[in-house]
Amino acid sequence: MDIGRPLVQTHELRMDYGQGTGAVHALDAVELAVAAGETLAIMGPSGCGKSTLLHLLGGLERPSAGEVRLQGERIDQLSERALARLRRDAIGFVFQAFHLMDELTAIENVELPALLAGASPRTARRRATELLDRVGLTDRAAHLPSALSGGQRQRVAVARALSNEPLLVLADEPTGNLDSTATLDVLRLFDDLRATGQTVVIVTHDARIAATADRLISMRDGAFVEETRLTHGSTGRLGALAGLEEG
Amino acid sequence: MGRILLVLRLAARDVRRHPAQAALLVATITAATATLTLGLVLHGVVQTPYKSTRAATAGPDVVARVAPPEPGPNGTPVGGSHASVNPAALNALTRARGVVAHSGPYTLADTTLTAHGTRAAVQAEGRDVAPATLDQPELTAGRWVRDGGVVVERAFADAFDVHTGDAVKVGGRSFRVTGIAVTAAMSPYPSAGSMVDGHVVHPGLVWLTRADARRLAVAQENVSYIMNLRLADPARAPAFVTAHEPSENESLNLNAPPGARPAVPPPPPPMLQSWTQLSDNAGNLVRNERRALLTGSWLLGLLALASVAVLVGGRMAGQLRRVGLLKAVGGTPGLVASVLLAEYVVLALVAAAAGLAIGRLTAPPLADPGAGLVGGAGGIPFGVVDVLVVIAVAVAVAVVATLVPAVRAARVSTVLALGDAARPPRRSARLIALSARLPVPLLLGLRVAGRRPRRSLLCAAGATITVAGIVAVLSAHAQLDAQRTTSALADPRTDRLSDVLALIAVMLVAQAAVNAVFITWATVLDARRTSALARALGATPGQVAAGLSAAQVLPALAGAIAGIPAGLGLFAAVSPDDAPTPSAWWLLATVAGTVVVVTALTAIPARASARQPVAAVLRSELA
């Protein structure tokens, strides 16, 4: 894997919820650099601040202090409008709860970001078809989310995150609601992304998921406590590595 | 008993938890019930002043009149040449069975009155200087008739702006206004009407001395005679009129075969009017107001229904967890539905009481019987039936709007209710495909609207009702304007009707505004997650806000356009004789105004919703 210059960087990043004695320090002076093409896993127990970090990286929330840079440009001071454009053009989100639009079919969900970005309906549909094919759901394109399994929904969500060919994919507990089989499907998908050079930041509390990344950061109480560079692929098949199937 | 108390206590607690919503709901239903109350009591409001006037003036039970036949299209009287109008034709009535007293006959000359440079048609009645025992007009100012003096009927004097002491000309002769009076023997100005040169003319009434009236009676065609009768039993006045009124052939002098008609036709038979007919005519003063108010009240009732349905639907979604808790602790579906129904029925009863009180207090000034009658309208009791109708309408609005959501909520599984599972949105594949071709705000707006078609339908229906009401008001104004051009005098009927129409228009707009706020509130809450998700995927706050507004504006636009033919049809149905169309510019302005108002009303909550922190919303939806 050719790891390039940092795509995402944070400096002295702090996030507090509440004020005074009731204030909660979700993030405490976090320094982070994610290289282009890198897959980074952030692990930690519930409430350690990993989801907050992900939201700050994606411009869904504004930090209490510190900086967030994407391709060297500060994004923490951008207007809401500029942040929306940034999310639309450069960032793809995958949520633990999938967050698919209930009334839209799989393909309509996948094409939505392209339509929001101003793509023609035909272009958006073609791109969505390709992505559904890539995640192995061509035959489920016309299904509503309620007719899909958890794993299939998450694969639709991944396809949707890739709709506008983002620089960065942010995944928040992407397998948190899935069973083992579905988890393996999603892991394979992220492995494919890593192989294609897609920059991915995955937040998880599951060590097996984290083991598939290039680098693993452990968090506790809003701060990084440990960083490990992993040698992905040296131990064999992905499923075996993640402990989801026998090697 | 314990169960009823429990239901009421739970309902009362829920009302206390959402006081603003409860207040808006009460206000919405109150507007409809107050207007309905006004419409229902308006007719009765005029009955009492007529009775007061009848008592004060020793009003007759029957008024008989002989008048020359109406001229036909070529100016020749219908049925033959001019007949001689003879007051002796009335004398036979004085001997009729049941008649115990009479006054007259009095000369009645069709002439004109000129004052302040304005001329208007009047009927000048010649009276004795001494007071009559039957139909002695009640002076409200000045003195009774004397030679060279004229007494003017009060409603006409008000319209003409003449007062005692003013110099006027009657039939070209100079007179001094000696008094202002009211009578129960003729309908107050401008109730009475007759055709002159193809136009409806509402002549005023003045009293002169017999000698002065005779001098004005210059030609046969403009003279008629009037006699007042008192019956032993006033209640039999309508039957007396029926028994003695001429047949159509008699009145047209067509009984004799054409060849056998005499050269000089017999005198025309007397025409009779009972006091009950005169009372009804006095009521006609407010007939159009009553009609407008009743129509307006039904429109407001429908708008209230739409508002309450949206409000209840929105609140029901928010109350799902509470429903689950009630069921989890042993509440049956029936209890749950009863609590939800009781809450809205109690609020509807409060609104009905408020509407009855407001309608009762507003009725007298709105339904002022005018200067033509004496006695105020303040002593009008509410009829029990009217009260029951108003209460029934209020409760029906609440029950119709609440029943389906209440039963649906009561039937939902306890586990789902405890989980507060959102109602799944509706999908319209055609709408989704269409929206993909539109700019982002319209794409989002159409999809938000398509998720809840019932709500969009209510939004459109609200706009249709409002615009239909406003178009009907505009049509009524167009009709009033056309009527005003035929008379130089102020017409108390049209002036008051204008006020009533303005009131209805304001109430419709206010009600529609409340409706739009309710719908936006429900939409914003319902689309909270969708909006946050759209922003996470790259929609700007402006696009999301515009989309939420568009979700209201698009159905409102469709509804407003539908409201134009609906309003024209409504007015044609209410006033089938003459239904003028307002100018196209006014109609276009109504549609444009509706869109602007809905946009403005939805903009603030839509913008507020579109600026909520995305992560917080998505987290809360996950929780």
Q: Considering only CB atoms, which chain B residues are within 8 Å of A124?
A: 436
pLDDT at B166: 85
B615: nearest CB among A61, A84, A118: A61
pLDDT at A1: 44
> Can you spell out the DSSP letters for B519-543?
HHHHHHHHTHHHHHHHHHTT--HHH
B389 C-beta neighbours (distance < 10 Å), count: 15
| C-alpha dihedral, B56 to B60 to B66 to B71, nearest 10° | 60
pLDDT at A234: 41
Mean pLDDT for the stretch of residues A17-35: 85
Q: Considering only CB atoms, which chain B residues are within 8 Å of A116?
A: 440, 443, 534, 537-539, 543
Q: Which of A173-177, B106-110, B431-435, B468-472 has the highest mean pLDDT?
A: B431-435
Mean pLDDT for the stretch of residues A192-216: 84
Do A180 and A244 contact (CB within 8 A), yes or no?
yes
pLDDT at B215: 78
Q: What pLDDT band is residue B620 in, cutting at 50, 70 and 90?
A: low
Determine, for residues A116 and B451 on separate chains, whether the beta-carbon distance falls below 8 Å. no
Q: Considering only CB atoms, which chain B residues are within 8 Å of A96?
A: 622
pLDDT at B257: 53
Residue (of A169, A215, A208, A220) closest to A192 by Cα position: A169
Please report, in angstroms and rounded to a whole number, the separation of the first and last CA atoms in chain A: 23
Q: What pLDDT band is residue B239 in, cutting at 50, 70 and 90?
A: confident
What pTM does this model have?
A: 0.70
The residue of chain A nearest to residue B442, with distances taken between CA atoms, is: A116
Q: Considering only CB atoms, which chain A residues are within 8 Å of B612?
A: none
Which tokens belong to B483?
A: 């009527």
pLDDT, tens only, B29-72 = 887 788 777 777 765 555 566 777 888 888 888 888 877 765 54
Q: Tell me whether B453 touches chain A (CB under 8 Å).
A: no
Residue (of B323, B294, B381) closest to B570 by Cα position: B294
Look at residue B440 and tell me whether its pLDDT is greater than 90. Answer: yes
Look at residue A247 and tell me whether its pLDDT is greater than 50. Answer: no
Which run of H or of E encompasses A137? none
Mean pLDDT for the stretch of residues B18-28: 80
Report chain A's mean pLDDT, rounded to a whole number.
85
pLDDT at B79: 43
> Can you spell out the DSSP letters for B364-378?
HHHT---TTS-S-ST
Which run of H or of E encompasses B182? strand B173-182
pLDDT at A141: 93
Q: What pLDDT band is residue A8 in, cutting at 50, 70 and 90?
A: very high
> Can you spell out the DSSP letters for B406-434?
HHHHHHS-HHHHHTTPPPPPP--HHHHHH
Fill in the DSSP letter of residue B71.
Answer: B
Distance CA A218, CA B55 (A): 99
> In A36-169, where does DSSP find H-type helix?
50-57, 80-90, 106-116, 121-134, 150-161
Mean pLDDT lowest among A128-137, B421-430, B564-573, B592-601: B421-430
Residue (of B251, B278, B228) closest to B105 by Cα position: B228
pLDDT, tens only, B492-517 = 666 667 777 887 788 788 878 888 88
pLDDT at A222: 86
Q: How many CA atoms lie within 13 A of B59 on its CB side?
A: 26
The pairing of beta strand A65-70 with beta strand A6-17: antiparallel
Question: Which of B447, B537, B620 is the best mutation test for A, with the most CBs of A within 10 A?
Answer: B537
B163: alpha, beta or left? (left if phi > 0; alpha if psi -120 to 50): beta
In total, the C-beta contacts within 8 angstroms joining chain A to chain B are: 86
A116: nearest CB among B440, B542, B613: B440
Q: What pLDDT band is residue B80 in, cutting at 50, 70 and 90?
A: very low
Q: Considering only CB atoms, which chain A residues are within 8 Å of B613?
A: 60-61
Please give the sequence-ordered ranges of beta strands (E in DSSP) within chain A, or none if there are none: 6-17, 24-35, 39-43, 65-70, 73-74, 91-94, 168-172, 199-204, 215-220, 223-229
Fill in the DSSP letter of residue B188.
Answer: P
Fill in the DSSP letter of residue A191.
Answer: H
Higher pLDDT, B564 or B97: B564
Is CATH 2.102.10.10 the right assignment for the domain spanning A35-59+80-242? no
pLDDT, tens only, A145-155 = 989 988 899 89
What is the SS3 assignment for A29?
strand
Q: Which of A237-246, B306-315, B479-488 has the highest mean pLDDT?
A: B306-315
What is the SS3 assignment for B450?
helix
Q: Which residues contact B72 (CB under 8 A, 6 or more apart)?
A: B78
Higher pLDDT, B410 or B274: B274
Determine, for residues B536 and A99 on separate chains, whether the beta-carbon distance falls below 8 Å. yes
Look at residue B78 and tell me whether its pLDDT is greater than 50. Answer: no
Burial label for A202, CB within 10 Å (0-12, 13-18, 19+), is: buried
Determine, for residues A103 and B540 on separate chains, whether the beta-carbon distance falls below 8 Å. no
B575: alpha, beta or left? (left if phi > 0; alpha if psi -120 to 50): beta
The residue of chain A nearest to residue B615, with distances taken between CA atoms, is: A60
pLDDT, tens only, B180-231 = 888 887 877 766 555 455 555 677 888 888 888 887 776 556 778 888 888 8
pLDDT at B623: 44
Which tokens belong to B180?
A: 């202002």
pLDDT, tens only, B297-335 = 778 777 777 877 777 777 666 666 667 777 777 667 677
> Can you spell out the DSSP letters for B87-111?
THHHHHHHTSTTEEEEEEEEEEEEE
Residue (of B224, B198, B72, B258) closest to B486 by Cα position: B198
Look at residue B570 and tell me whether its pLDDT is greater than 90. Answer: no
**B 575-614 near A (Cβ less than 8 A):** 611, 613-614
Distance CA A203, CA A176 (A): 10
Q: Tell me whether A126 touches chain B (CB under 8 Å).
A: no
pLDDT at B286: 62
Report chain B's mean pLDDT, rounded to a whole number.
77
> Can you spell out the DSSP letters for B250-306?
HHHT-SS-GGG--SSPPPPPPEEEEHHHHHHHHHGGGHHHHHHHHHHHHHHHHHHHH
pLDDT at B250: 54
Distance CA B348, CA A168 (A): 56
Mean pLDDT lowest among A11-15, A25-29, A216-220, B422-426: B422-426
Determine, for residues B538 and A81 on separate chains, whether the beta-carbon distance falls below 8 Å. no
Which tokens belong to A29?
A: 């002076």
pLDDT, tens only, A86-142 = 999 999 999 888 889 988 999 999 999 999 999 999 999 999 999 999 888 999 999
Q: Supply the ipTM of this predicted assembly.
A: 0.87
Do B82 and B221 contact (CB within 8 A), yes or no?
yes
Q: How far is CA B415 from CA B266, B327, B337, B621, in A?
A: 92, 10, 17, 17
Report domain extents, chain B.
1-54+305-423, 68-267, 426-623
Report domain extents, chain A.
35-59+80-242
Do A132 and A106 contact (CB within 8 A), yes or no?
yes
pLDDT, tens only, B347-358 = 889 988 998 888
